[in-house]
A and B are shown apart, each in its own frame.
Chain A
Amino acid sequence: MSRHGKYEYWWSYLKEHKLMYCLGVLTVVVCNISQVYFARAMGHIVDFFSDNAIPGWLVQDDKKSTFIFLFLTILISRVFLMLGRMGWRLTLARQTHQAAGDMKDKIWKNAKYFSTADLVDKYPKGVLMNAANSDVGQARFIFGFTLVGLIDVIFLGIFTLVSMFQINALLTLASLLLLGFTPIAIKKLSKIEVENYERAQNFLSEFNDLSSQAVATVKLQKLGQTAKFWFKRLYASASEYRERRLSAHYTSLKYIPYIGMTSILAYVVLFSLGVYLNITGQLTVGEFVAMQGLVFLLQDPLVELGYIISDWRKSGTSLQRLENIYRNPKEDYLLQSDSTDISGQSVYSIDNLKFNYGDNVILDGIDLRISKGDRIGVTGKIGSGKSTLVNILSGLERDFRGDVNFYNKEFSKYSHHDLREHIVCVHQKPFLFADSIKSNVAMDRDMTDEQVWHFLSMAGLGPEVLDFEDGLNTQLGEWGINLSGGQKQRLTLARALSRKPEVLLLDDGLSAVDTVTEEKILSNLNKQLKDTTIIWVAHRKSTLKYCDKIIDLDGPCLEKTILQ
């Protein structure tokens, strides 16, 4: 197997768990030996009772003890089969699950450092979620279960064939010839089956999306009287899905005649050649029975081989997609750990800052000096580049032209960690984690309840949280309570304040808060954060009353209007 390309991770995983895999192979072999012996022993039994010869090592002093001995070997073969099966489950099957966890973990390990552009175009949420579910779900099999199948097929196939050759070479060759097409047929069928299921499955995700939308828009449907249109849409979609799913099921059912026909072919061989050999005395009755058992035993690995080939191919494709994620370039600045000191009075000095989004000029030549403790307001229409400016100032958008210096040095001189310690941003769209209120404020830091309450009340949310039955432990998110837009914004403000930042960027973070409350919060912040440099973005000038300087991005000239 190639050590490069899509199997790189697979190969390194196998090497890492060499011992387990060797043990696993051994246990599968034990299973196979037991299975083959069992089939042969059943033949011996028949031979024994029809007074034909059985292998010498089984013969004991008298008939009764020979029977008991024969019986014991049968029983022991079943016990070994059981132990062997336990063995591969505890060795190989285990790897399936462990590798799956590993692969899932690696997705976030890598994806969290992807560039925003990649996350939008190449790896949007749907693709990553799909990778974590379907791709990991499929790829994991070649770490365990498919391997078991492969080893099983190889050894069971070989053992069965050897046993059959020992009994009668001619009959074996004839059976093999007739059954040889089985893996090819199964592989083909399984390919069609997979395609059909994928078609159905893809439609199912669309259909499920539609169902989620239907649930999400219930209120709208009630008010807009659109429920009946939704019903039509859903029903049409469900009917279509039923048809696709059914055609996939029909393909699966085709295995019945396919495999059934191989059985019938096996019978044909047995009844013609087998009976002929029996008549001519080259095959005992017991051997006939054993051959019958072995032919059916051979049928299994041949069918299995077809599945394995198609399974392997599917897993390979999934593995490739996962490898692509693991190798996708990451944003270097997020991983940067060397840093220089952050100190001085000049927080930002910006010269001729330009930013384009595609062909759209978003920021065109901005000059700005911001000193420690300044209160700067930024205003302008939607699309005038307010949020872009905030992203640039926070050091998270580096794809600009012009000079931006933070404490007299470029952002690239500081580590991601240090920058995040100093600059904190409250976004316009409040994002909260599905966790308690306290965890949403503290996040990765340890905080006492008192500290959390302090920041909540600074953000004007204290009294409302007090009213919640569970207080700080109130759960948010889908399984918890829903905060209003304004409450969410104030909670994200509290979260930002709890980092005690040097620079606080507020990107219209109080737009959904009513004016009375907003005013209270603003005057509070202004009083309590004397040393903090605050940059307020708002489209309502009232929000900016505490600012020393206001930058109007809609201003007519290149330098942008600075309203004093």
Chain B
Amino acid sequence: MSGKNYIAIDDQDESVVNKKQYAEWRSFLFLMKFTEGLRTGLFVALGLLLIYSVMAMLSGYAMGVLVGEGLAKKNWDLTYKWSAIVLLAELFALSLHYYGRKILTRNASFVILNIRETLFKKLSSLPMSFFDRWPQGRIVTRMTHDVEGVEQFFTASLGRMLNAFFLAMAAAVAMLSSDFKLGTILILSMIPALLVVLLTRTKVNIINRKMSKLASEINSKLSEYIDGLYVIRAFGLEKWSQGIFSKNVQDHVDITLKANTFYGWSRPLVSFLCSMPLVLLVWFGGLKLMEGVITLAVFVAFVRYAERFFGPVMMLFREVHVILQAFTSAQRVANFLREDSEADLFMKGEVYPGKAIYGDIEFRDVWMGYNEDSWSLKGVSFKVKKGEKIGIVGTTGSGKTTTISILSRLYDFQKGDVLIDGQSIKDWDIANLREQIGLVSQDVIIFQGTLRDNLTVDPALSDEEILRVAEITGLSLVMKKNNLALNDLIKDGGANMSAGEKQVLSLTRTCLLNPHILILDEATAHVDPYYEKILHDGVENVMEDKTSFIIAHRLDTIKECDRVLVFSDGKLVEVGSPDGLMDEKGVFFGLTQAQEFVES
């Protein structure tokens, strides 16, 4: 179904990463939408931080006056006065800094919550075809890791950076206003450092991406080997697995060491270049002092300014990759949010709001393909009346599952029409339609949680009601056998349950939704005879009076159907009662012959 070529390329894949589907800057602006309602708070925080940096500069200036005019000239009154000013300025700056950052962080945390909320809504609105193209792991990464990347930036780095930025700006202004020429020289002396940062930017990016890719490869290898340890043991692959794992680890170590060597020279170099203003200050400032052009007070103040200038700038340079990472994460999240939703795909025109389904179904010359290259259904037509039990048979890939997926609107179809009670499902409200179709499929999804959580997410459903339905479906037998209560934990993937038990659980889950149309998709494929009997009885109870479809490989399960649809190669080749089809000696007869040959 989902062949290799149809998997969407990861937007971090090297082949597309340079094409920039959604420019990094623009995706960041896109995320700014989520600041709605929080902007006042954010502006207040920014204001406080801005005043803080001004205060910090003021303290530096005061320190200069204190030393140059007070101490050096032995003017004690001035000394006391400016000491007090320095202390007050520092105290005030401290409070501004602290509260500014606090307010910023708080508001940023709500921005992230907004993003998460939007992502959750997006997730449930995406069509099945999207999930075929996107590997599950990648979607999970978008929902978790990438949001965390943005979060990390918003709640932790952003405050630091804004601070650093304001401080550097304030220091620059202070320097320029004290002595324009000297200030200009000092600011311009940062250019070499800036150049090194800009020139190594791409390299940093590439190394970081490689590192995280290799790190996650180690993780998936380890996870895979732990899952498959029973196979590794059964085939004696211990050494082989170690060889591969060690190689994965070594690859990662190699790239981190490469990164380490790279940072080993680039970081100290940038630090060195960042301290250039201070060194140049000693040179030019010293010369000016000797010429008597500037005073000692100005020189000392300049030293403080320069310290407060190169510190933040160095921090900004160091965190450039954090910004880049945040942009990348933001870009991925933005791209994910732009994917077409089910509504975009299915409900283009006028929407039929839906109604209670009676149960008549008609397929009219339906054509469907999962991709553009081939058709999975080729002109299928049939009619089903309310309450009929319809069996669907055919070999793997003949179109059985596709037919059912179309009926539940998991996938769209390209040609023809499907009618329920005479109404086309093309414009039928999807939520309303699905509410009334229950499906028990061969893949039972079970997650870690209580049995109750696995049966229903409706807290309004009483234990009595659940147990009543469990009685009908046979789940009560399973619970009795395993000594399982509604509030007992079930392991992830149902690790402590057999295939049959999972199927019974799945059937119960569906029945609790009280559907009008019931679909059983190869529901008994993995089930041993003991549970097959339980399931069979359960299904019989549930199907009473409902239009139902049963897909099964084991043909004996179909004997009780009113009619059977026989599929072959995407076409409906035979329709009729099981007995009638046997007499026809067609495809169905062939299938049953193979079966009986095996059973005998």
The interface of chain A, by Cβ under 8 A from chain B, is: 42, 45-46, 49-50, 63-64, 67, 71, 74-75, 78-79, 81-83, 85-86, 89-90, 93-94, 97-98, 100-101, 104-105, 107-109, 111-113, 119, 125, 128-129, 132-133, 204, 207-209, 211-231, 233-235, 238-239, 242, 245-246, 249-250, 252-253, 256-257, 260-261, 263-264, 267-268, 271, 275, 278-279, 285, 288-289, 292, 334, 381-383, 394, 396, 416-417, 419-421, 424-425, 427, 431, 433-434, 443-444, 468-470, 474-475, 477-482, 484-486, 495, 499, 511-512, 514-516, 518-519, 539-540, 542, 545
Contacts and interface: CB of A to CB of B under 8 A. Distances in A.
Given A275-B71, A516-B594, A242 B261 contact: no
A485 B600 CA distance: 25
Interface string B421-432: 000000000010
Contacts of B462: none
A209 B448 contact: yes
Contact of B136 (A64, A215, A424): A215
Contacts of B222: 107-108, 128-129, 132
Contact of A82 (B5, B74, B98, B272): B272
Interface in B488-531: 498-501, 509-510, 513, 525-526, 528-531
A469 B3 contact: yes
Contacts of B289: 49
Contact of A128 (B126, B226, B300, B600): B226
Give 6 closest A-B pairs by Cβ, nearest first.
A420-B236, A229-B457, A101-B253, A227-B124, A444-B240, A85-B268
B269 interface: yes
Choose among B131, B286, B437 the residue with the greatest number of A CB atoms under 10 Å from its CB: B286
B83 interface: yes
B301 to A, nearest CB: 12
Contact of A234 (B71, B120, B234, B410): B120
Describe A's contact surface by its main secondary structure.
helix
Given A239-B113, A267-B90, A539-B528, A113 B227 contact: no
Interface in B81-122: 83, 86-87, 90-91, 94, 97-98, 101-102, 105-106, 109-110, 112-113, 116-117, 120-121
Nearest to A144: B260
Contacts of B529: 381, 539-540
A425 B237 CA distance: 13
Contact of B598 (A97, A433, A482, A515): A515
A132 to B, nearest CB: 6
Contact of A382 (B123, B510, B531, B591): B531
Interface of B: 1-5, 7, 63, 67, 71-72, 74, 76, 79-80, 83, 86-87, 90-91, 94, 97-98, 101-102, 105-106, 109-110, 112-113, 116-117, 120-121, 123-124, 126, 128, 131, 135-137, 139-140, 143-144, 148, 151, 155-156, 218-220, 222-242, 245-246, 249-250, 252-253, 256-257, 260-261, 263-265, 267-269, 271-272, 275, 279, 282-283, 286, 289-290, 296, 299-300, 303, 395-396, 408, 410, 431, 434-435, 437-439, 441-442, 445, 447-448, 457-458, 498-501, 509-510, 513, 525-526, 528-531, 553-554, 591, 594-595, 597-600
B434 A217 contact: no
A519 B117 contact: no
Contacts of A235: 116-117, 120
A45 B282 contact: yes
A215 B140 contact: yes
Contacts of A207: 144
A257 B94 contact: yes
A482 B86 contact: no
A253 B98 contact: yes
B530 A242 contact: no
Contact of B71 (A227, A288, A470): A288
Given A104-B249, A249-B155, A481 B396 contact: no
Nearest to B408: A223
Which of B222, B252, B410, B438: most chain A Cβ within 10 A?
B222
A382 B290 contact: no
A112 B434 contact: no
B457 A433 contact: no
A204 B143 CA distance: 12
A97 B256 contact: yes
Contacts of A221: 124
Contacts of A217: 445, 447
Contacts of B434: 222-223, 225
A278 B223 contact: no
B253 A97 contact: yes
A424 to B, nearest CB: 7
A383 B140 CA distance: 35
B348 to A, nearest CB: 19
25 contacts: A45-B286, A50-B72, A89-B260, A93-B260, A97-B253, A100-B256, A101-B256, A108-B241, A119-B229, A129-B226, A208-B144, A220-B445, A223-B438, A233-B457, A242-B110, A256-B98, A275-B80, A334-B233, A431-B230, A443-B237, A468-B3, A469-B5, A486-B396, A516-B395, A540-B529
B238 A334 contact: yes
Given A86-B265, A481-B3, A433 B224 contact: yes
A125 B227 contact: yes
